[in-house]
Chains A and B, each alone.
Chain A
Amino acid sequence: MSAAAPARPATAPRTSTAQALARARRGPRRRRRAVVTVLVLLVLALVLVRALLGDYRVSLVDAVRIIGGEPVPGASFVLMESTLPRALVAVLAGAAFGAAGAAFQVLLRNPLASPDVLGITLGASAAAVTAVVVFGVRGTPVTLAALGGSLLAALVILGQAGGRGGATGRMVLVGVALAAGLSAVVHWLLVRASIYQAQDALVWLSGSLNTVTWADIARLLVLDALLLPVALLLAGRLPVLGLGDDLAAALGVRVTALRVGVTLVVVALVAAATAVVGPVAFVGFLSGPIARRLVPGRPSVGVAALVGAVVVVGADHLAAYAVPGTALPVGLVTGLLGAPVLLWMLRSRPTTQEGR
């Protein structure tokens, strides 16, 4: 008998299913595209604002001429030696902090688990302050110390990555404990430092773009260009890890290897950015939740990188001009912005029903 079950004709339900799935995808996809477009435009706009609208205003026409290689007296120096490098480094560092923070939060399935909360950034700080205060060095050795410090802190946290059950919980707890201990170390070093050393250390600690050079930018650009694609590639597996270790393993994810890989990329990103601009407060912590709010459902490391860039460029502009006559460190502004934003996020639960 060729008469099929009358309730299910062969083609009709499949078409309607395909339509339903297409409809279910359309909403989030459009939203994601819109969010990315707006964020990219926002980054570009903020870079222009930061680079051109300082104390000394540079017109867009002059800026194009300067970048084209034609010197404009006065404007050339301001743009090329101060505002443009600051704006660019803010984008690069912000993207690194944002991507690293979001990846770590998703990896550990915990919104608290950003590198700045878990002592990875503090590892960099403690090592850098030690270098300044104990060994009296400045410049590159401080950068290298910061790198080493964050790597050591990450290794301590990674020590908990394997083993059975609850690895993420242990990683978060160990990270928080580590952060507390390292913070105490930083304070103790500052207390016993001479006033000048303490001054040096504090400038670095509050996160600042004041001393950025083109060499810094080149270094950060290379590292970002290498690390961000790796972070995005690994982030493609994070959605599956988000279902829990057991299910992720059952779906073919090598859980411990992924955890180690993501942690190493996160550390490298954080260390690269921290070495140049210092531990800019809260950017890693905030970017992930903001990105998740903008693009719900999917962990979005790319969107978080854009959010981080927007936050740091915007905060640096505010820091430079909010209080007339005083250039605040950028970390002060991100820290000040961070607390209310966090409270706002706690109050407004995310919309759980997307589309309609």
Chain B
Amino acid sequence: MTVTDTPPATVPHDAPTAPAGSRLRALDLRLGYDDRVVVDGVTLEVPTGRTTAVVGPNGCGKSTLLRGLGRLLRPRAGSVLLDGDEIGSLPTREVARRLGLLPQQPVVPEGVSVLELVERGRHPHHGLFRTWSREDERAVAEALERTDLVHLAHVAVDSLSGGQRQRVWLAMVLAQATPLLLLDEPTSFLDVAHQLDVLDLVRRMCDDDGTTVVMVLHDLAMAARYADHLVAMRDGRVVAEGRPADVVTPEVIEAVFGVTATVLADPDTGAPVVIPRRRTS
């Protein structure tokens, strides 16, 4: 595992048994807003059927990268390939059947019930004249069951707690039933119990359904514990990439976050645990 300041090309790519090529790839991707470049030349192969966490300091471009991968942002340069096709050239609805994306703070419409909101996840599977199929019903029921929301189906989402709300949003993307899922900070504003709730659920989506997950997380410890593959970013570039045990090292942490840290192994799982010490830059 080497740490590089500039182009990450030399980083050894040991994604854990990425099967048969990656379905979602970024090639020399450059993204930005107005005249500001936020993601500057990222090349990434998202390991299929695995959970990838993108970590990095605030403003490093990790959320922007996620939006670019989800074709919410048109690349300035480079490209995003979904199953080998330029993602921007595919019909929006077609992309939405393969790739789900949950933004950090979606809008909760006033008075909408849990059931109605989860049903909206089926939108990409409908034509112009919407018809509700048995498959839709099955997907919604299963999503509510897996998120333990059946008993809250009739309740208004805006009356729920933050943790319950996040479960509702996850139920919605579950109902969308895409093989690929991008999550932007799914645990922000949640207490630790609800963070575990959400991440356990994400883990099960990956392990049980084979969903390929890419999530932006700001908590390095949670990322190390729940992801198969870590991507560490700084200043719009990928600084290090690989298995958590290889990426979460004192050298990488200093290079990415600018803090010295001690890294221990979790006595239960062996996953790296980070103890930040002091700011260096």
- Which one of A20-28, A85-93, A180-188 is at the interface? A20-28
Give bound CA distance, A353 to B112, whole Å. Answer: 9
* Interface assignment of B270: CB less than 8 Å from any CB of chain A: no
Chain A neighbourhood of B115, CB < 8 A: 21, 24-25
- Residues of chain A from 267 to 323 with CB closer than 8 A to chain B in the complex: 292, 296-299
List chain A residues, Cβ under 8 A from B267: none
Q: Write out the residue numbers on chain A whose beta carbons fall within 8 Å of the beta carbon of B96.
A: 250-252
Q: Interface digits, B43-61 against A, CB 8 Å rule (1 contact, 0 not)?
A: 0000000000000000000
| A354 in contact with B72 (CB, 8 Å) | no
Partner of B176, one of A16, A251, A350, A353: A251
B153 surroundings in chain A (CB, below 8 A): 20-21, 23-24
- Taken together as a complex, chains A and B put the C-alpha atoms of A303 and B111 apart, in Å, by 16
Residue pair A251, B123 in contact (C-beta under 8 Å): yes
Q: Give complex CA distance A13, B120 in Å.
A: 23
Assess whether A7 is interfacial by the CB under 8 Å rule. no
Contact present for A251 and B121 (CB under 8 Å)? yes
Contacts of B156 in A (CB 8 A): 296-297, 352-354
Closest Cβ–Cβ distance, residue B60 to chain A (whole Å): 19
Any A CB within 8 A of the CB of B5: no
Q: Which B residues lie within 8 Å of A253 (CB)?
A: 92, 123
- Are A23 and B154 in contact, with the CB atoms below 8 A? yes
Interface centre among A23, A244, A246, A299 (most CB of B within 10 A): A246
On whether A352 and B106 interact (CB within 8 A), knowing A21-B115, A21-B144, A252-B95, the answer reads no
The answer to whether A352 and B107 have CB atoms under 8 Å apart is no
User: Do B33 and A164 touch across chains, with their CB atoms under 8 A apart?
Assistant: yes
A254 on the interface (CB 8 Å rule)? yes
Size of interface on A: residues with Cβ below 8 Å to B: 42
B100 contact set on A, CB distance < 8 A: 250
Taken residue by residue from 1 to 40, chain A's Cβ proximity to chain B (1 for < 8 Å, 0 otherwise) reads as 0000000000001101110110111011000000000000
Task: Give min CB distance, B229 to chain A, whole Å.
Answer: 22
Interface residues of A in 210-237 (CB under 8 A from B): 233, 236-237
The answer for the CA separation of A145 and B145 in the assembled complex, in Å, is 57
Cβ of B190 under 8 Å from chain A: no
Q: Write out, one digit per residue, whether chain B residues 167-192 have a CB within 8 A of any chain A CB (1) or not (0).
A: 00000000010000000000000000
In the complex, the answer to whether B155 meets A353 with C-beta atoms within 8 Å is yes
Say yes or no: A355-B154 contact (C-beta < 8 A), given A252-B95, A252-B97: yes
10 A-B pairs closest in CB distance = A252-B96, A252-B124, A24-B154, A250-B101, A252-B93, A296-B111, A24-B153, A352-B156, A244-B107, A355-B154
11 contacts between A and B (CB under 8 A): A16-B150, A21-B153, A242-B107, A242-B109, A296-B156, A297-B111, A297-B112, A350-B110, A350-B111, A354-B111, A354-B113
With A20-B150, A23-B153, A250-B100 given, name 8 new contacts (CB 8 A): A27-B154, A164-B33, A239-B109, A252-B96, A253-B92, A254-B92, A296-B110, A297-B111
